[in-house]
Structure 1
Amino acid sequence: MKKISCLLIIILSFLLTCKVAVNTAFSKTSRKVGTKTKSTKVQLKEALKLVEQEEYQRATEILESLLPNVQDVASRNRTLYVLGNSFRRQNKWDKAIEYYQQVPADYILWDYIKLHIAESYQAQNDYQNALVWYERFLSDHPKHPTYSFAQYQLALCYMKAENYEAALKIYSQLIDNKLNGYSRAAQYQSGKAYEALGQWQQAYFTYQHVIDRNSSDSMARDALERINALVAAHHHNNIKITRERRLSMGMVLFDAGKYIQARNELGRVVSDYRDDLAGKATYFIAQSYYRQGRYDDAITAYQEIVNFYPTSDYLTRALYQTALCYERKEQLTKAQQLLKDFVAQYSWSAWADNALYEIATSLKHLRQYEDAIKVYTQLTEQYAKSDLVDEARWDIGWCYFKLGRYQDSITSFQTFVTTFPKSKYVGQAQYWVGKIYEKQNELVRAREIYDKIIREHQWYYSIRAVERIQALFASENIGVNENIDISNYRRINATSDSSLWRDMERLDSPRARELIASKAFDDAITELESLAKSGKQNLKQIYYNLILSRQKEKQFYQAYLDGLKLFRLSDLKNKGNASPTEAYKLIYPFYFQDIITKYSTEYGIDPLFVISMMREESGYDVDAISHAGACGLMQIMPGTGADVAQRLKISSFEPTMLFEPETNIQIGTWYMKNLMDTFDNNHALVSGAYNGGPGRMKKWLEELDLSDMDEFIEDIPINETRRHIKKVMDSYYIYKELYPESYALPQISKKP
């Protein structure tokens, strides 16, 4: 009996051990499988992060190794799409096509995949396959936001395949649709197709139409080069350039700043003719001299219009410009007389109000304030509908101030605010009323005016109003209005209401969601732009995601513009018209923060002052070029860039390097620090010198009274420079509020 009991115990123990072993093994297997599944998801997430960081090679290595383990259909489709995109971004076209073609046709983004397959074949010069896929895309998706783009690319492929007739048919469709964004480019390409077909005359006329539509861009210059080549090679084929066409060719050169070449072309239009065409050509010859600062030559050319083309539409412009030439030559008496004669004889001219304004402003700068008031008043009465009326009214108040006629100045400014409540000069007028009350020792009334400016967040002047109240309070002259807590005042009108910013990343569109989840930000931009144009209800989420996508694609200028659109949306504001701080950071972003911090630390300047200057100079546009030729983010003139680059020992400097963020920011930051040292670290003076030039700023400091900085700024004779100072200083205040952790003068200072 004992033996049986022992045997049963042994058997039961064995079975229990086996069960434990099986359970343990199963548990380990389960954990292993669970770990493997989790690991795949984690690695997919890591790969997508690498795609977002544009580390495509590392991303594709991970994704290719993971692909066999991705069993979920949705995840597999996304992985294939991401692989195709990542290889495309590396210009590995075969691999891109390989993975794109593995995606099933029912995938939500199959339309974009077809387009990218076509692009990939095109990039490989496999135009036959590219044609097949573009045709397929266009047939399947006639309302796609990239339809016109695909049409244009299809035509280019036909051109490469030497099927010029087929290309011309597509170009014709694009040309007729002026709103597709490809109309003029298609017209230019049509010219090349006609050339290939030996239809020289048709090619010539087509290029001329390109120029006629816009003479001021690179496409116009390219069209002009094609015309010149045609004329040189096929002059025997009756390609004759009419005077009208030669005028348009001259305008291309004029708009490009190639003034000597422009004068050569325009001079051939004039020749011995005395018609309106010759008058117009003569005017732009004169303008070319004016833009070069060759005022005597400009005056001579303007006078030719008066002598030989008295009935020309450009007569009054020539007379007006002649007076401006004498102003630039600082022959102010002569300029004044010419402008007065102009207004008396041509009061009907579209330039008469400008002439009066020039007369009055010149008198103001000569400190002949009584006479200036009379002319400003004449302008407001005689040309009441002029765009210059509100500015003239402001100037009247300012002239009264300079005369010490403070009550007249107050009355003038207050009338101005009532008459032009939406003018950009309202805050300015209110502020100077407050300053006048200070001068009259009516400090309570001054404080009331400043309080109003603060409550209304009147741009740059709200900060100045706070500083005036602080100055008065510090001197114990007045108390601060208990309803205005200026100690916590913020320039931005921000709200802490988180509901306004809730779910900003949420998108109703499944396609847009999939694009962003796949880190396909280039395609997401296309999709979101289309959604924004369609006027969908969740517009703020659309714009927000569009901005984020643009930032990922380094389209910072466009992101800034979309940020302004988002900021203006009513459903992003509370009843007090306040917006979330996050919205402000989209219109005052800190792009290129690492580069700015690096060089501002090296040279000893506040990085927030640098980004403020960048905002007002270029709007964060890497490729910005001004009419004067200033380049890039910090708007550096090529000559200045070359000089600073030599000092900084930047090797092999070329002007094109100013379009590289690192080089542009380094040069711009050094230059700002140089100005800070020159102008005693005064941010307002540096802002003015950066715009108007350090030479002019030194001259103004010699001629104008600096005892009151506000008054000094208003007395600067160049309107653009006055506005620039205020814009930069306003942005600087805002940046200091939005990024307080970055507001500190660097400890290291390498003086220029």
Structure 2
Amino acid sequence: MAEADHALFNGDYPAAITEYTTALAASSDSDIRAAALLGQGRLHYLTGVYPNALNEFRAVIDSYSESTQVADAYYFLGETLMLLNRYAEASEAFANYLTIRPGVLDAFINERRADALAATGDYGAALTAYIAAVQSPRLPTNFSVELKLAQTYVVLGDYVTAQVVYDDIFARTGSEDIKAQVDYARGQMFTALGQVEQATTAYVDAVFNFPHAYFSYLGLIELVNAGYPVDELQRGLVDYYAGQYSIAQIALDRYLSGSPSDPSTALYYKGLIMRDQDEYAEALTLWDAVIQGGETSSFWDSAWEQKAYTQWAYLEDYAAGEKTLLDFVAVAPTHPRAAEFLFDAGRVAERDKRLEDAARIWQRIPVEYPNSEYVYRALFHSAICHYRLADYSSAQTVFWQAQNLATTPAERAGAYFWTGKSQAAQGDAASAQATWQQAAPLDPTGYYSERSRDMLNNHTPFTLPELIDLGIDRQSELRQAELWMRTTFNYPSETDFSVPGPLAGDPRYIRGIEFWHLGMVDLAEAEFNDLRDGSTNDPLTSYRLAVFLSDLGLYRQAILSARQVLDLAGLDDAGTLTAPVLFSHIRFGAYFPDLVVPAAQDNGFHPLFVWSVIRQESLFDPSIQSSAGAFGLMQILPATGEEIVSRIGWPPDYTQADLLRPDVNITLGIDYLATQRDNLGGDLYAALAAYNGGPGNAAAWQSLANGDPDLLVEIVRFDETRQYLKGIYEVFTIYSHLYGRAP
């Protein structure tokens, strides 16, 4: 069974179903047979074979009624029936779960039961279940249950209580989206009651106070359909934020055709709409009108910014974009954003490959805006331009100026590293070595200090250790860590460090474990994250969480908990590596080894490199989804996943949900990374840049770097991608030190 459960954890469904089937056939033990049947049912549920899943869950319930698996079987039976629209049966299954396992997930299961009852039309029973859900212990809410509760009161005709619930939600939430949703729901309720004035008040509140929210757009539709005279500017803004650009333009035009009190806002947003419709000349004209209206407009600086961005990014007229930014600085040299615009002007010149102009612009910043946050970056980028022009003497001079103005160890290390590179390029190897000697200890574990050590040792980037050892003596590490905890935090000798210890009684721990066992990783994460957040000043609880969660398989929360302990000990990044190795093995774990090692080797990567990428992408959380829509351990976009699957012909019957399976995600992610590497001549920096910033961009950056990997990192024009490259390199260095061995 352990092999089957591990395969399910890895998302290797074929292996898991084989193991569960084998266990069921080979064992006469009722507990093992019940667990195997439940496992088979879960796999059929996950893969959409619902008739088989129903049979297997019912077999657990009917044939092994004394098994601890029965409650789980009822839960999965309920979810399967929900997918089949058999809501009455689903409600009964959820009720049976609550009977067998009360006081654990009461809020969640009651909500699911209420959803099922509402779908059958039994709103009275649904109301009772929603009330039970609201009253049961749970994490701070996004108010989804309360909103359902209020709507159920509306359906049942209890408008007074519904209003009380809506008012409570509105008062307690800090989310503008939820406030707008409440306003819209109240408007709908008042409309149904024929209370037009109250409905209008609710819709108007949403439209005027929360224009970004989608429910405000729905409220606007109600107002317009009712003939209510909505301010055309506000109407245009709400339409714009809802993505209804054509309608927004009409409203803004009506506003501008009258006697507008705030024409600059309308002109600014109309410019954005025109650009979206590829009407670039019209957009520029509109922003010029905002600019000519003077600095009193709240969108004055933004109009300059959008004008410049449209010129260089859309029209590829870099000189015009640069001029717009420089004109802003000339017109408003004391504006709070003047230094930012001057910095951006240098960026535009650099994109246009006018490196001398870029260097000159950037070197203005420390002179004209010496107190600006852009001073160091401007000097650093200016020096990089000189280096790219092979003017190594000027580069060295400016890097040294940057070093003198650096405010952090990382900045000083960067300036020293590139000073050394400039000296080496001039043939002064001795001075370069001396400079790198100064850089290496400045920011231990930081990118530039690590690269300085590489230069001193004549190592190219991503130099691999000759041997690696993934073996861990967990019990020995635990003993060392406990001794360190006692000494560091002055715990008395009788302190119990057992895991989970007192955590076992915390409701969040109890719910988290149950969510985990039911496969709801995101909800388990939320419970343990809340528990960790509540322990920011408690090293012992944080320690227990780190150890327990790493054993459980919730690696992201384990990593964060371990770092929390080290922070409480007052350790900086370098200091954390002097703590007992248990903490490093948790924070930089060789997780999913049976998936990572073979896939890495099959694609010509070292496993340490792949672990570094996965850690940077997801902190080993297979359930994570980014705001950009990327999924899983290696953060794969759905379109990219489909392209890879189409090319390699695996896995069969692929769906987007498969990206949350570690087995699939790691296989696809490593394949995609290998493709980028091969397309870019084996360059790992460029491959990583392609993985994060796009293949076309990476190819362009690589061509500008002329084979210098350090220069490629600096040429990368996306701040996120540049930090991504540095972050992976820092993590790779730690992995190499942690697991590397001398022959």
TM-score, normalised with respect to structure 2: 0.70
Q: Is the 8 A contact 1:595 1:665 kept in 2?
A: yes
Residue 344 (structure 1) aligns with: 330
Please list the CA deviations of residues 165-201 of structure 1 after superposition, one character each: whole Å capped at 9, or x if unmatched.
3222111011111359965554454344334434456
Residue 494 (structure 2) aligns with: none
**Counterparts in 2 of 1:288-367, with a 5 A limit?**
288-290=273-275, 295-306=280-291, 312-328=297-313, 329-363=315-349
Question: Structure 1 residues 268 and 51 mapped into 2: Cα distance closer, same or farther (>3 Å)?
Answer: farther
- Once residues 145 and 178 of structure 1 are traced to their aligned partners in structure 2, the CA distance between those partners, rounded to angstroms, is 10
Residue 416 (structure 2) aligns with: 430
**Counterparts in 2 of 1:645-684, with a 5 A limit?**
646-648=646-648, 668-684=669-685
Question: Structure 1 residues 536 and 647 mapped into 2: Cα distance closer, same or farther (>3 Å)?
Answer: closer
Please list the CA deviations of residues 490-512 of structure 1 after superposition, one character each: whole Å capped at 9, or x if unmatched.
9xxxx964225864533345244
Q: Please, which of 432, 440, 447 is the counterpart of residue 453 of structure 1?
A: 440
- Letter matched to residue 375 of structure 2: V
Question: Structure 1 residues 639 and 54 mapped into 2: Cα distance closer, same or farther (>3 Å)?
Answer: closer
Q: Please, which of 502, 507, 525 is the counterpart of residue 502 of structure 2?
A: 507
- Once residues 532 and 395 of structure 1 are traced to their aligned partners in structure 2, the CA distance between those partners, rounded to angstroms, is 40
- Once residues 563 and 259 of structure 2 are traced to their aligned partners in structure 1, the CA distance between those partners, rounded to angstroms, is 51
- Letter matched to residue 391 of structure 2: L
Q: CA offset at residue 342 of structure 1?
A: 1.8
Q: Please, which of 193, 197, 200 is the counterpart of residue 197 of structure 1?
A: 193
Residue 569 (structure 1) aligns with: 567
Q: Is the 8 A contact 1:427 1:458 kept in 2?
A: no
**Counterparts in 2 of 1:47-446, with a 5 A limit?**
92-98=90-96, 100-101=98-99, 110=103, 112-113=105-106, 116-117=109-110, 119-125=112-118, 126-135=122-131, 151-179=146-174, 185-199=181-195, 202-203=198-199, 206-207=202-203, 209-210=205-206, 220-225=213-218, 227-228=220-221, 230=222, 235=225, 237-254=226-243, 260-261=245-246, 264=249, 267-268=252-253, 270-273=255-258, 275=260, 277-290=262-275, 295-306=280-291, 312-328=297-313, 329-363=315-349, 372=358, 375-398=361-384, 403-405=391-393, 408-409=397-398, 411-417=400-406, 420-421=407-408, 425-439=411-425, 441=428, 443=430, 446=433
- Letter matched to residue 166 of structure 2: Y
Q: CA offset at residue 120 of structure 1?
A: 2.0
Q: CA offset at residue 304 of structure 1?
A: 3.8
Residue 750 (structure 1) aligns with: none
- Once residues 210 and 324 of structure 1 are traced to their aligned partners in structure 2, the CA distance between those partners, rounded to angstroms, is 32
- Give the 3-state SS of the residue equivalent to 2:236 in structure 1: helix
- Give the 3-state SS of the residue equivalent to 2:229 in structure 1: coil
Q: Which residues of structure 2 form unaligned runs of 5+?
A: 1-26, 46-52, 82-89, 470-475, 486-496
- Give the 3-state SS of the residue equivalent to 1:327 in structure 2: helix
Q: Please, which of 458, 476, 483 is the counterpart of residue 471 of structure 1?
A: 458
- Once residues 285 and 652 of structure 1 are traced to their aligned partners in structure 2, the CA distance between those partners, rounded to angstroms, is 48
- Give the 3-state SS of the residue equivalent to 1:245 in structure 2: helix
- Once residues 650 and 487 of structure 1 are traced to their aligned partners in structure 2, the CA distance between those partners, rounded to angstroms, is 33
Q: Is the 8 A contact 1:379 1:389 kept in 2?
A: yes
Residue 694 (structure 1) aligns with: 695
Q: Is the 8 A contact 1:528 1:543 kept in 2?
A: no
Question: Structure 1 residues 399 and 601 mapped into 2: Cα distance closer, same or farther (>3 Å)?
Answer: closer
**Counterparts in 2 of 1:554-703, with a 5 A limit?**
559=557, 562=560, 566=564, 569-571=567-569, 576-578=575-577, 579=579, 583-584=583-584, 609=609, 612-613=612-613, 615-616=615-616, 624=625, 644=644, 646-648=646-648, 668-703=669-704
Q: CA offset at residue 428 of structure 1?
A: 1.9
Question: Structure 1 residues 163 and 427 mapped into 2: Cα distance closer, same or farther (>3 Å)?
Answer: farther
- Once residues 586 and 205 of structure 2 are traced to their aligned partners in structure 1, the CA distance between those partners, rounded to angstroms, is 40
Q: Is the 8 A contact 1:623 1:631 kept in 2?
A: yes
- Give the 3-state SS of the residue equivalent to 1:350 in structure 2: coil
Q: Is the 8 A contact 2:542 2:565 kept in 1?
A: no
- Give the 3-state SS of the residue equivalent to 2:290 in structure 1: helix
- Once residues 290 and 40 of structure 1 are traced to their aligned partners in structure 2, the CA distance between those partners, rounded to angstroms, is 70
Q: CA offset at residue 683 of structure 1?
A: 0.6
Question: Structure 1 residues 349 and 148 mapped into 2: Cα distance closer, same or farther (>3 Å)?
Answer: same
Q: CA offset at residue 283 of structure 1?
A: 1.5
Q: CA offset at residue 413 of structure 1?
A: 3.6
- Letter matched to residue 448 of structure 2: Y
- Letter matched to residue 127 of structure 2: L
- Once residues 210 and 652 of structure 2 are traced to their aligned partners in structure 1, the CA distance between those partners, rounded to angstroms, is 36
Q: Is the 8 A contact 1:204 1:227 kept in 2?
A: no
- Once residues 174 and 112 of structure 2 are traced to their aligned partners in structure 1, the CA distance between those partners, rounded to angstroms, is 23
Aligned pairs, number: 655
Residue 498 (structure 1) aligns with: 481
Deviates more, 1:573-582 or 1:46-55: 46-55
- Once residues 660 and 334 of structure 1 are traced to their aligned partners in structure 2, the CA distance between those partners, rounded to angstroms, is 46
Q: Is the 8 A contact 1:524 1:546 kept in 2?
A: no
- Once residues 206 and 691 of structure 1 are traced to their aligned partners in structure 2, the CA distance between those partners, rounded to angstroms, is 44
Q: CA offset at residue 266 of structure 1?
A: 5.5
Question: Structure 1 residues 447 and 94 mapped into 2: Cα distance closer, same or farther (>3 Å)?
Answer: farther
Question: Structure 1 residues 252 and 544 mapped into 2: Cα distance closer, same or farther (>3 Å)?
Answer: farther
- Once residues 390 and 685 of structure 1 are traced to their aligned partners in structure 2, the CA distance between those partners, rounded to angstroms, is 26
Question: Structure 1 residues 396 and 610 mapped into 2: Cα distance closer, same or farther (>3 Å)?
Answer: same
Residue 25 (structure 1) aligns with: none
TM-score, normalised with respect to structure 1: 0.69
- Once residues 549 and 362 of structure 2 are traced to their aligned partners in structure 1, the CA distance between those partners, rounded to angstroms, is 49
- Letter matched to residue 236 of structure 2: L
- Once residues 168 and 435 of structure 1 are traced to their aligned partners in structure 2, the CA distance between those partners, rounded to angstroms, is 69
Please list the CA deviations of residues 346-383 of structure 1 after superposition, one character each: whole Å capped at 9, or x if unmatched.
22333322221123344556676676555434423443
- Once residues 611 and 465 of structure 1 are traced to their aligned partners in structure 2, the CA distance between those partners, rounded to angstroms, is 23
Question: Structure 1 residues 535 and 526 mapped into 2: Cα distance closer, same or farther (>3 Å)?
Answer: same
- Give the 3-state SS of the residue equivalent to 1:471 in structure 2: coil
Question: Structure 1 residues 704 and 81 mapped into 2: Cα distance closer, same or farther (>3 Å)?
Answer: closer
Across the aligned residues of Structure 1 and Structure 2, the Cα RMSD in angstroms comes to 5.2
Q: Which residues of structure 1 form unaligned runs of 5+?
A: 1-38, 71-77, 104-108, 474-485, 742-752
- Give the 3-state SS of the residue equivalent to 1:241 in structure 2: coil
Question: Structure 1 residues 128 and 285 mapped into 2: Cα distance closer, same or farther (>3 Å)?
Answer: same
- Letter matched to residue 725 of structure 1: L
- Give the 3-state SS of the residue equivalent to 1:425 in structure 2: helix
Question: Structure 1 residues 299 and 588 mapped into 2: Cα distance closer, same or farther (>3 Å)?
Answer: farther
Q: CA offset at residue 587 of structure 1?
A: 5.3
- Once residues 657 and 135 of structure 1 are traced to their aligned partners in structure 2, the CA distance between those partners, rounded to angstroms, is 32
Q: CA offset at residue 385 of structure 1?
A: 4.3
- Once residues 654 and 633 of structure 1 are traced to their aligned partners in structure 2, the CA distance between those partners, rounded to angstroms, is 17
Please list the CA deviations of residues 223-268 of structure 1 after superposition, one character each: whole Å capped at 9, or x if unmatched.
424643x357xx3x433332243133233234xxx6x546535644
